[in-house]
Amino acid sequence: MAIADVKEYTHLTEDEVEQLGRELDAIRAEVEESRNADDAAYINRLIKVQRGLAAGGRVAMLASAHTRAGRPALVAGTAMLAVAKILENMEIGHNVMHGQWDWMNDPEIHSSNWEWDTAQPAEQWKHSHNYIHHQFTNVLGHDNDIGYGILRMAREQKWHPVNLGQPVYNALLAGLFQWGVALHDLDIERIRKGEKDPGEMRRQLRQILRKGRNQILKDYVVYPALSGPAWRSTLRANATANVARNLWSYVIIFCGHFPDGALHFTEEELEDETRAEWYLRQMLGSANFEGGRALHVLSGSLGYQIEHHLFPDLPSNRYPEIAVKVRALCEKYDIPYTIGPLHRQYGQALRTIMKLSVPNSWTSSDQPEPPSPSRDRKRRSDAERPARRPELGGWARSPRERSHD
C-alpha cells in the first residue's frame, strides 16, 4: 500500500503534524547548539582508527608476502582492511558527505571535498543520495533507491517477467555493491529511455572511469605488484576485503527502507508537503535496527535510519540520544516506529525481494492494508521534481576535483 497523504494515514490533524514538526525542530536546534569538542574528538578518533586499520592491513599483507609472517598476517591484514573500508564508507564517508561535520570548519573533514574509498565519485553520490533519496524518500517514481532500478521492491511497481530473476540480481548486487552504487546516479533507466542528457552522461562516465580506475589500480595492481611473487594472495586479500565491504553495506542499506513497516508514498504526498509532513514521511518510510555500539558504528549509524532521515546533517554520534527523544514523540503522537533486530529486518527485506519477483496475485502483502492500484514506473528527472529541501546535506554539479586524483 502506498500512501498519498501522511496526515490521513496517521489520523493526525494538521495542527498535530505541525506541532510534531516543531518538536523535531527543537531537538535539532538543541543538538546544533550543543555540538562541541567531544563530538569533534569522536570523528577525529574514528578517522585515526580507520586509517590505522587501513595502513596496518596493507602492511600486514606486505609482511606476509615478504617475511615469514605468512598466512596469519595475511588473514589479519585482510580483516583489518575490510573493517577499514567499512568504517570509511559507512560511519565516516557517508556522514561527512552529508555535512554532519561541516560545523567544525575543518577543510579536511568537510562535505565539499571529501572523497571516499569506493568507486562512486563523491559528487554523484551527493546528488543521488543526499538530494534524490533523502528528499524523495520512498516516493514511487521519485526515489531511485526503491530497488535501485534493478529490483522490484513495492507492490505498486508493475510486475514484469524480468522480475523473475530478482533472486539472481539481488545476489549480484550484493557482491558487486560498490559498482552498483558507482553507476547509480547515471540512472540507467533514464538512459535506456533516451531521457538522459548525453553531455551530462559523458561527464559522469568520465568521472566514474577516473575514480574507478584509481581504485582498481590501487587494490588490484599496485599493492599486488609490491607483494612480488606473492602478488596473487595480496590480490585475493584485497578482493576479499572489497567484497566483505560490499556485502556488509548492502545488508545494512537494505535494512533502511525495505523491512515491513517502512511505507511507500505516491506522488500526491509531495504536493504542498510542509516541512512537518516531510518529517512525518521520513519517520514512516524508514526502519531502524537494534544493536550494540560497535554494530552501530560499523553500520554508519544507519541502525538509526529514522533519526538519520529526520536529521541527515547532525553528527552521527548523537543519533542514540536523539533516538530516545524521537521514540518518545512517536509514542506521544501514536506514530509507528519501525525497529527490530538486524537479522529480522534483513530477513523481511529479502523475503520482499523474493515475493515481488512474482506477480502480486501469487503472494500476500506483508503490509497491513490492501495494495492500491499499480502505477507507472516512470522515473522523474530533476526538472520534474519539486524544489529541493535545504537540510539534506550538499550535492554538487561542479567538478572541483582534488588535486591528487
Q: How far is the CB of 239 from other proteins (least distance, A)?
A: 17
Measured from the CB of residue 263, what is the shortest distance to other proteins in angstroms? 26
**83-112-195 Cα angle (round to 5):** 95
Q: Is the CB of 160 or the CB of 389 nearer to other proteins?
A: 389
Q: Judged by CB, which is closer to other proteins: 293, or 402?
A: 402
Instruction: In whole angstroms, give the CA distance from residue 227 to residue 235.
Output: 9
Using CB under 8 A, list all residues that contact other proteins. Answer: 35-41, 48, 51-52, 54-55, 58, 99, 102-108, 110-112, 115-117, 126, 131, 211, 214-215, 217-218, 222-223, 388-398, 400, 402, 404-405
Q: What SS3 string covers the chain? A: CEECCHHHHHCCCHHHHHHHHHHHHHHHHHHHHHCCHHHHHHHHHHHHHHHHHHHHHHHHHHHHHHCCCHHHHHHHHHHHHHHHHHHHHHHHHHHHHCCCCHHHCCHHHCCCCCCCCCCCCHHHHHHHHHHHHHHCCCECCCCCCCHHHCCCCCCCECCCHHHHHHHHHHHHHHHCHHHHHHHHCCCHHHHHCCCCCHHHHHHHHHHHHHHHHHHHHHHHHHHHHHCHHHHHHHHHHHHHHHHHHHHHHHHHHHHHHCCCCCCEECHHHHCCCCHHHHHHHHHHHCCEEECCHHHHHHCCCHHHHHHHHHCCCCCHHHHHHHHHHHHHHHHHHCCCCCEEEHHHHHHHHHHHHHHCCCCHHHCCCCCCCCCCCCECCCCCCHHHCCCCCHHHCCCCCCCCCCCCC
CB of 46 to other proteins, least distance (A): 12
Chain centre to alpha carbon of residue 160 = 26
- Nearest approach in angstroms of CB 308 to other proteins is 18
Q: State the nearest-atom distance from the C-beta of 334 to other proteins, in Å.
A: 31
Cβ neighbors of 254 (< 8 A, separation 6 or more) are 346, 349, 350
Q: How far is the CB of 90 from other proteins (least distance, A)?
A: 16
Measured from the CB of residue 103, what is the shortest distance to other proteins in angstroms? 6
Contact 96, 370 (CB under 8 A): no
Indicate the helix (H) or strand (E) that contains 3: strand 2-3
Indicate the residue among 13 and 34 with the shorter CB distance to other proteins: 34
Write down the least CB distance from residue 88 to other proteins, Å: 9
Q: CB nearer to other proteins: give 108 or 369.
A: 108
Pick the closer one to other proteins by CB: 54 or 253: 54
Nearer to other proteins, 66 or 218 (CB): 218
C-beta closer to other proteins: residue 5 or 391: 391
**Phi/psi at 289 (5° precision):** -135, 155
Q: How far is the CB of 398 from other proteins (least distance, A)?
A: 5
Q: How far is the CB of 17 from other proteins (least distance, A)?
A: 22
Least CB distance from residue 39 to other proteins, whole Å?
Answer: 6
Closer Cβ to other proteins, 10 or 135, answer by number: 135
Taken as a whole, the chain contains a residue count of 405
By beta-carbon proximity to other proteins, the closer residue of 127 and 152 is: 127
Residues linked to residue 288 through DSSP beta bridges, in sequence order: 339
Judged by beta carbon, residue 211 or residue 308, the one nearer other proteins is 211
Distance CA 264, CA 286 (A): 10
Question: Which CB, 36 or 364, lies closer to other proteins?
Answer: 36
